[in-house]
Amino acid sequence: MPIKNRFAELLGEITAWRRDIHAHPELLFDTHRTSALVAEKLKEFGCDEVTTGIGRTGVVGVIKGKTTHSGKVIGLRADMDALPILEATGLDYASKTPGAMHACGHDGHTAMLLGAAKYLAETRNFDGTVVVIFQPAEEGGGGGREMVNDGLMDRWNIQEVYGMHNMPGLPVGEFAIRPGALLASADEFDITVVGKGGHAAQPHDAIDTTLVASHIVVALQSIASRNVDPLKQVVVSVCTFRTETDSYNVIPQTVLLRGTVRALDPDVRDLAEGRVMAIAGATAEAFGARAEVNYQRGYPVTVNTPENTEFAADVAEAVAGHVIRDVSPLMAGEDFSFMLEERPGAYMMLGNGDGAMVHHPEYNFNDEAIPAGCSWFAELVERRMKSA
If asked whether residues 68 and 100 sit together in one domain, one would say yes
At 365 the pLDDT is: 98
Question: What is the three-state SS of 6-63?
Answer: HHHHHHHHHHHHHHHHHHCCCECCCCHHHHHHHHHHHHHHCCCEEEEEECCCEEEEEE
Residue 104 annotated as binding site = yes
How many whole angstroms separate alpha carbon 193 and alpha carbon 213?
6
Q: At what angle do helices 306-320 and 370-384 cross, to 10 degrees?
A: 130
What letter does residue 330 receive in the DSSP assignment?
B
If asked whether residues 209 and 67 sit together in one domain, one would say no
In angstroms, how far apart are the furthest CA atoms of the chain? 84
How many whole angstroms separate alpha carbon 212 and alpha carbon 311?
52
If asked whether residues 293 and 352 sit together in one domain, one would say no
From 259, 283, 299, the end of a domain falls on 299
Distance of CA 14 to the CA centre of its chain: 22
pLDDT in tens, 354-370: 999 999 999 999 999 99
At 387 the pLDDT is: 78
Residue 267 predicted with pLDDT over 60: yes
If asked whether residues 259 and 373 sit together in one domain, one would say no
If asked whether residues 14 and 130 sit together in one domain, one would say yes
Residue range of the domain that includes 92: 5-182+301-384
Residue 388 predicted with pLDDT over 70: no
Please state, rounded to an integer, the average pLDDT across all residues of the chain.
97
If asked whether residues 45 and 130 sit together in one domain, one would say yes
CATH, residue 27 = 3.40.630.10
Mean pLDDT of 135-142: 97
CATH, residue 288 = 3.30.70.360
If asked whether residues 176 and 203 sit together in one domain, one would say no
Sign of torsion over alpha carbons 90, 91, 96, 98: negative
If asked whether residues 195 and 313 sit together in one domain, one would say no
If asked whether residues 200 and 286 sit together in one domain, one would say yes
Residue 360 annotated as binding site = no
Nearest by Cα to 264 from 177, 343, 176, 186: 186
Nearest by Cα to 232 from 261, 260, 263: 263
Question: What is the three-state SS of 91-139?
Answer: CCCCCCCCCCECCCCHHHHHHHHHHHHHHHHHHCCCECEEEEEEECCCC
- Structure confidence at residue 3 as a pLDDT band (50, 70, 90): confident
Mean pLDDT of 71-88: 98
At 64 the pLDDT is: 98
How many whole angstroms separate alpha carbon 300 and alpha carbon 289?
33
How many whole angstroms separate alpha carbon 296 and alpha carbon 273?
9
Structurally, the chain folds into a number of domains equal to: 2
If asked whether residues 119 and 145 sit together in one domain, one would say yes
pLDDT in tens, 296-314: 999 999 999 999 999 999 9
Residue 344 predicted with pLDDT over 90: yes
Q: For residue 102, what are the CA distances in angstroms to 76, 139, 158, 387?
A: 21, 11, 29, 38
CA atoms within 13 Å, Cβ hemisphere of 88: 7
pLDDT in tens, 26-60: 999 999 999 999 999 999 999 999 999 999 999 99
Residue 2 predicted with pLDDT over 90: no
Residue 139 annotated as binding site = yes
Mean pLDDT of 254-276: 98
From 257, 272, 299, the end of a domain falls on 299
- Structure confidence at residue 89 as a pLDDT band (50, 70, 90): very high
Residue 106 annotated as binding site = yes
